[in-house]
Amino acid sequence: MNKRIYLQDLGTKDYQDVWDYQEQLFKDIIDVKIKNRREEQALKTSNHFLFVEHPHVYTLGKSGDISNLLLSEEQLAKKGAKFYKINRGGDITYHGPGQIVGYPILDLENFFTDIHKYLRLLEEMIILTLAEYGLDATRSEGETGVWLDVNTPFARKICAMGVRASRWVTMHGFALNVNANLGYFDNIIPCGIRGKAVTSLNVELGQKHVDESVLKEKLLKHFKVLFEAEFVDK
């Protein structure tokens, strides 16, 4: 098993460009696995972790409902936002400046073969990171992602998640609101869930700006422990 993960911080990148890049890494890993089975080889598969920040974009998962996007094509253009139907699970979500997006592209056979466990560990990474900022974040039963004040009238989501997996290889991942413009969430029914708010770390802390580089270090620290992994800069 190979628990080494190649780490890349892509900075600010167009959603489609990063989606294409994910697809290529995803395909490369699966190609190795197919070759190993056909030719009875034992070539190691690679693992990747991408950090990125996207310009304003709305994405709809394969099980999502287009009616949860509350803007026309013309209104999207006026807001400088794009829209994509994509191949992850989940409904609609927003990505934009001030949001840390993480895409782990892992061969789970290098770690464990359990998608449920994978999602729960991603959530745990976020929960442990937010605890370092004094926030008591948690899961909401039946709703993937990380929340604050669950089971109260003030429940609000701070991190969305959606993944795709095939042959135990993952892509897509999580989107944590750090310094996000929450107004853009007013244009959708986030994750198809009505009546629950969305929040951002800077809002919860009452700060103008949270240092995103420090937060990324905290995320990686917890990911490394939870997945018993080693990061290597690519």
| 191 carries an active-site annotation | yes
Q: Which two tokens stand for residue 226?
A: 């939870």
- CATH number of the domain enclosing 214: 3.30.930.10
The predicted-structure confidence for 174-205, as pLDDT tens digits, reads as follows 999 999 999 998 888 765 555 678 999 999 99
For residue 53, give the amino acid letter: E
Strands, DSSP E only, in 67-115? 82-85, 92-95, 99-105
Pick the more confident residue, 20 or 189: 20
Residue 170: which of 111, 228, 130, 229 has the closest Cα? Answer: 111
> pTM to 2 decimals?
0.93
The active-site residue, picked from 105, 159, 191, 210, is: 191
* Dihedral Cα 8, 12, 18, 19, nearest 10 deg: 130
The predicted-structure confidence for 161-180, as pLDDT tens digits, reads as follows 989 999 999 999 999 999 99
Gap between the Cα atoms of 158 and 146, Å rounded: 6
User: Quick one: pLDDT at residue 194?
Assistant: 57
How crowded is the C-beta side of 146, counted as CA atoms within 13 Å? 27
Number of domains in the chain: 1
Give the domain range for residue 123.
4-233
The predicted-structure confidence for 35-70, as pLDDT tens digits, reads as follows 988 887 788 999 999 999 999 999 988 878 888 888
Find where tokens 């609101």 sit: 177
Gap between the Cα atoms of 90 and 96, Å rounded: 18
Cβ atoms of residues 80 and 56 within 8 Å: yes
The predicted-structure confidence for 114-126, as pLDDT tens digits, reads as follows 999 999 999 999 9
Q: Is the pLDDT of residue 105 over 80?
A: yes
